[in-house]
Amino acid sequence: MASIKIKNALLVILELAALLLASAQTALAGPVLQDDDTPTPTPEDGESRILISSPESGDSVSGWVTIVGTTLDPDFRSYRLEYAPDPTPSDVPWAEIQPPVEQQVREGTLGAWDTTSLEDGFYILRLVIERNDGESSDYEIHIQVANATATPLPTLPPTPTATSIPGTATPGPSPTPLIWQPPTRTPRPTQTPGGPTSTPQPLLQEDSPLSPDRLRQAARRGIYIALITFGVLAFYSLLRLAIRGELRERWWDFRRELINPLIDALTRKKDDR
């Protein structure tokens, strides 16, 4: 009876282990991407097109700027967005707005540019397409970054009221001219010529708890812990069944060799009396 229970327990444990291993393989393989109904845009008849449609050249921008445009090429490999001061000194490198993107875009969002860390002024925004043959093409626009806020107008002092002399007419209120001061921009600390240009960081850092690598590692640890827990429980069940079967056999041996003869002896002694 005990051996049958042990076999059943082993079968249950093997089935659970198979299910856990299948779940682990699925989790480690990562999420399965579903096919999108919208196909990847491809150039028609070998057409090559590169364009920034928003913002337009000459616009004034501030804060986060959404960049819209088109990147189509028959030999497309990737595109990137970058910027530099206008005019651009020869010793100042171009700064990337985001890592290169290996996806063609037709009149869609190319990226987002954070201008809050930049000094107000004129900049060149450039879109570059890299091809598989090593060649590249670019498209540039000239824009102005204006993040400074307007300075509020000063408060005018109260106008003194003239004291009337008895016997004379009291003059009426005279119009007080208002002094209008145009808004001024708050100066920002100037950047040392030739110094490094701050590069915006990506929206999702590599050490973020929501990054795909961290989520995959957490799933792997959870699966390992579950496997170890089920293994310990299975071992405990087998040990318990084995112990129960051995104790039962020892009890019957003890009863057959000691208790039964003792009961028989007491019965015979009682009958003799």
Place of tokens 């497309």: 76
pLDDT at position 260: 85
Cβ–Cβ < 8 Å for 83, 93: no
Q: Is it true that the peptide bond before 177 is cis, omega within 30 degrees of 0?
A: no
**Considering the domain 44-149+184-203, what is its CATH architecture?**
Sandwich (2.60)
Rounded to the nearest 10°, the torsion over CA 149, 151, 153, 155 is: 120
Residue 234 in tokens: 């299975």
The phi and psi torsions of 159 (rounded to 5 degrees) equal -80, 125
Compute the distance between CA of residue 148 and CA of residue 136 in angstroms, rounded to an integer.
Answer: 36
pLDDT at position 3: 64
Compute the distance between CA of residue 163 and CA of residue 104 in angstroms, rounded to an integer.
Answer: 79
Compute the distance between CA of residue 157 and CA of residue 162 in angstroms, rounded to an integer.
Answer: 16
Neighbours of 130 (CB within 10 A): 19
Residue-wise pLDDT tens for the chain (273 aa)?
566 666 666 666 777 666 666 555 544 444 333 344 445 556 565 678 999 999 999 999 999 999 999 999 999 999 999 999 998 888 889 999 999 999 999 999 999 999 999 999 999 999 999 999 999 999 999 999 999 854 444 555 555 555 445 554 555 555 555 555 555 566 665 555 555 555 555 555 566 667 777 888 888 889 999 999 989 998 888 787 777 766 677 777 887 888 888 888 888 887 876
pLDDT at position 40: 56
Domain residue limits, the chain: 2-30+216-272, 44-149+184-203
Average predicted confidence (pLDDT) for the chain: 76
Nearest to 146 by CA among 227, 76, 65: 65
pLDDT at position 34: 37
Rounded to the nearest 10°, the torsion over CA 236, 242, 245, 248 is: -70
Q: Cα–Cα–Cα angle for 129, 130, 134, nearest 5°?
A: 150
Cβ–Cβ < 8 Å for 115, 145: yes
